[in-house]
């Protein structure tokens, strides 16, 4: 399998870091393509001002090739049923990550580019982990730990814990 990223974030420095981390963790080829807009307003819930991540991911199912995992990186804020917001979502070969809540500015703080890139890397590695079949991990330092808020993302590392690493090897040997 290879990983294809379609990114609304036109920041080649940040995307190179994301690609580098994905290659390191998953040992797969990573290709980045920059796009202007990933989806239109039909996915917008105007009363929430957020886009429905489930519908977007399902809509991209036909775009994905059989031998690739597709990762969408959007600037828009996302939600899923039952949650006020989500950082990302993964389903059957397609994942999406939103940069909207990854900046310090969003929380009324001073911009911090390094921190933003770290957060984006972690969220991307997390969602690609789901695409490989990994589930949420109780180890709060593991990248597969669920992020309830940005503090959880900052606390975890961008790497898999040894348990998830073993599980990934097993999952990859089956495909």
Binding site for Zn ion (CB under 5 A): 137, 139, 142, 144, 161, 164
* Closest CB 14 distance from Zn ion, rounded Å: 21
> For this structure, is 127 an active site residue?
yes
Cβ proximity of 100 and 75 under 8 Å: yes
* Closest CB 127 distance from Zn ion, rounded Å: 7
From the candidates 8, 105, 127, 165, give the one annotated as an active-site residue. Answer: 127
* Closest CB 144 distance from Zn ion, rounded Å: 5
Closer to Zn ion by Cβ: residue 9 or 143: 143
Closer to Zn ion by Cβ: residue 83 or 109: 83
* Closest CB 165 distance from Zn ion, rounded Å: 8
What is the Cα–Cα distance from 102 to 116, expressed in whole angstroms?
6
Nearest to 145 by CA among 121, 170, 116, 123: 123
Cβ proximity of 165 and 132 under 8 Å: no
Residue 174 CB contacts under 8 Å (≥ 6 apart), including other chains: none
Closer to Zn ion by Cβ: residue 12 or 58: 58
- CB-count burial class (<10 Å; 0-12, 13-18, 19+) for 73: buried
Closer to Zn ion by Cβ: residue 38 or 137: 137
Cβ proximity of 134 and 164 under 8 Å: yes
Active site residues: 127
């Amino acid at each position: 399998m290879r990983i294809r990223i379609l990114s609304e974030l036109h920041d080649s420095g940040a995307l190179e870091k994301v690609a580098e981390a994905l290659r390191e963790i998953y040992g797969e080829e990573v290709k980045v393509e920059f796009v202007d807009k990933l989806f239109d307003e039909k996915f917008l819930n105007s009363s929430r001002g957020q886009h429905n991540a489930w519908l977007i991911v399902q809509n991209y199912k036909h775009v994905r090739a059989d031998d690739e995992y597709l990762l969408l990186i959007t600037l828009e804020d996302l939600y899923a049923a039952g949650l006020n917001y989500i950082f990302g979502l993964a389903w059957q070969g397609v994942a999406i990550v939103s940069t909207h809540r990854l900046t310090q500015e969003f929380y009324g703080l001073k911009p911090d580019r390094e921190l933003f890139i770290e957060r984006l890397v972690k969220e991307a590695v997390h969602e690609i982990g789901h695409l490989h079949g990994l589930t949420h991990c109780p180890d709060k330092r593991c990248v597969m730990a669920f992020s309830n808020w940005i503090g959880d993302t900052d606390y975890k590392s961008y790497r898999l814990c040894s348990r998830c690493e073993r599980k990934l090897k097993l999952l990859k040997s089956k495909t």
